[in-house]
Structures are given as structure tokens and as C-alpha cells.
Amino acid sequence: MNYSRHFLNRFSSHLCGLCGLVVKRFLSVFSLLFSLILVSSAADMSPKELAAAVAAKQEGTAYVRLRLQVKPSGNAADETLQLQVKERRTKTATDLVYQILWPQAQKGESVLLHQEAGHLASGSLFTPPDKAQTLAASQLRQPFFGSDLSYLDVIEDPLSWENQTITGTEVVNGVNCTILESKPNKGESEYAKVRSWIDPNRLVQMRIEKYSPSGEVKVRIETSRVANDDKGRPIPANLIVQTPQKGSVTELDGSRIKHNVTFSDAEFTPEGLKQVSAPTTAAE
């Protein structure tokens, strides 16, 4: 009787181990197949479908805590800002508010940017205690808080442009990327074209280059770190921005992000820039 019980226990243990191995191998195979399906489906997308799939991850409302560090060329000291960002994006329009939280001497300095698809961008600045300014078209080309990005770089969305073309593939930071080339309609942008190196598996832009009409690279943006957002989706968490003509570098860390935040319409107005407050539903 004891021998039979011992045999049954050993057989049961062996069977459980075998079942566990089968389950693990099944999950591994399923995971591999799922990844291959994702890559295959992304590879089968048309240029416009690929652009739309990447852009769709940005749609909706979001609150971001952003660290911006400017590293000038030469011996000039680095400058670091901490900002809060309020975003409201749809397929046809984008509203952005950036407000400095630190350093204390600049707290409250704010910018509001707005653009509708196919139209020129507009913007407003606010400097405490009471200086408000509407940005002219030429001022939108000026540096965004002293960085290597302009206000237009921040608000423009080349993925929404009508003209999209896939020009090839290239490895960026160990990732085989699809190169998407976006061209604006006449008067839609100061750039002649924008190229995005897109990870087709995660739908993340690993590199962006913006070109002048003469073919010169004006701005290069590299994704140095990819992280999952609060929805579990891969996003560019850290960016390195370079303007080859200036020789300076701007680093951005925007990994602290909260989606589906409720904003009032007033927050996206010049008057709303005077209030520096985070939405109550956003992560601190």
C-alpha cells in the first residue's frame, strides 16, 4: 500500500511538472507568434496607415511632468527646467500648454500652442506677474524655452500631413526601423520634409530628422529610452535633440505621464496660462 501511494505521488508530481513545461512552452510559442503578427501587420501597413497608427497613440488628453535640460556648446553652463504639460489632441487639432514649475525664479512662465490640421499654428506667452504676448508667425520659429526645439517643432505633427512615403529600413539603436518620409503641402511647414525612423513592432519613433528645402538636416531627435506609459504602451520616454548648426544638445525626460485627464476649455486659453495648477486626477 505504501509503495503504491509513493508511486502515485511521484507520478502525480512528474505529471504536474510535465504539464507546467507544456504550458510554458505554449506561452512562449504564443508570445513569439503574437510578436510576429504585430511586426507582420505593421510591415503590411501603407505609409498613411503607419503614420496614423503612430499618431493614434498620442490622441486624447494627457498630463506630463517634463524635465528639459539644455547643454550649450562651449563652456556655457547647462540649464535645467521642470515643466508641466497639458495636452489635448484629436485627429484634426492639437492644444498644448507648457508651464515652468522650476526654477523658482521662472515659475509660471507659460506658453499655449494651438494648431488645426492643414492650418498654421498659433501661440501665446505669459510671463508673471502680468506680461501676456501673442506669438507672431516669425516668433514661432524661435527657441522653445531656450532649447534646440522651436515652438513649431513642438506643435507641428508631420504624421498628420497628407504626403507620406516609406523610403526604406535602417537599424537605429539596435532596432530595425521603417523610414517614413512626410512632406507638407505648400505653406504648411518651414521644413521641406521630415523623416521618422519607426520601430514597426512598438510603433515608436526612434529617430526624427527635419530637413530644410536645400536638403540640410535642421533638427535631429533621437529616442534614447523607451518606456511603457500608464496604459502599458511603449512610448519615447527620453529624447535627445540636436541642431547641427548650433552644436548644442537638449535632453528631455517626459516619462511621467497620465492619460484621460479632464481639462476645462479655459485652461487652453491665454487667460488660463495665469494659473499653474495640475489636474486633480493627474499623478503627482
Band the pLDDT of 276: cuts 50, 70, 90.
very high
Same domain, 25 and 163: no
Same domain, 215 and 129: yes
Q: Is residue 153 part of a domain?
A: yes
For the ranges 1-5, 135-139, 186-190, 246-250, which has the lowest average pLDDT? 1-5
- Tell me how many domains the chain contains: 2
In the predicted model, is pLDDT for residue 246 greater than 70?
Answer: yes
| 184, pLDDT greater than 70 | yes
Provide the domain limits for residue 8.
1-44
Together in a domain, 21 and 112: no
- Here the cell at position 206 is 526612434
Confidence of residue 19 (pLDDT cuts 50, 70, 90): very low
Read off the pTM: 0.83
Whether the CA torsion 243, 244, 250, 255 is positive or negative: it is positive
pLDDT value for 37: 45
Mean pLDDT of 277-284: 66
Alpha-carbon distance 232 to 107, whole Å?
32
Residues 129-163 pLDDT 10s: 999 999 999 999 999 999 999 999 999 999 999 99
Residue at 39 is within a domain: yes
For residue 240, the domain's CATH number is 2.50.20.10
Q: Is it the case that residue 89 has pLDDT exceeding 90?
A: yes
pLDDT for 30: 44
Specify the higher pLDDT residue, 6 or 67. 67
- Residue 184 lies inside a defined structural domain of this protein: yes
**Pair (39, 66) in one structural domain:** no
Q: Report if residue 279 sits inside a domain.
A: no
pLDDT for position 27: 42
238 and 195, same structural domain?
A: yes
What confidence tier does 255 reach under pLDDT thresholds 50, 70, 90? confident
Average pLDDT over residues 200-216: 98
225 in the same domain as 95:
yes
What confidence tier does 10 reach under pLDDT thresholds 50, 70, 90? low
198 domain residue, yes or no = yes
| Structure confidence at residue 151 (pLDDT) | 98
How far CA 27 is from CA of 23, 33, 195, 256, 266, in Å, comes to 6, 10, 37, 31, 49
Residue 263 in this model has a pLDDT that exceeds 90: yes
Name the one residue in this structure whose C-alpha cell is 499623478: 283
**Cβ–Cβ under 8 Å, residues 241 and 149:** yes
Please state, rounded to an integer, the average pLDDT across all residues of the chain. 88
Q: What are phi and psi of 40, to 5 degrees?
A: -65, -45
Split at pLDDT 50, 70, 90, the class of 42 is low
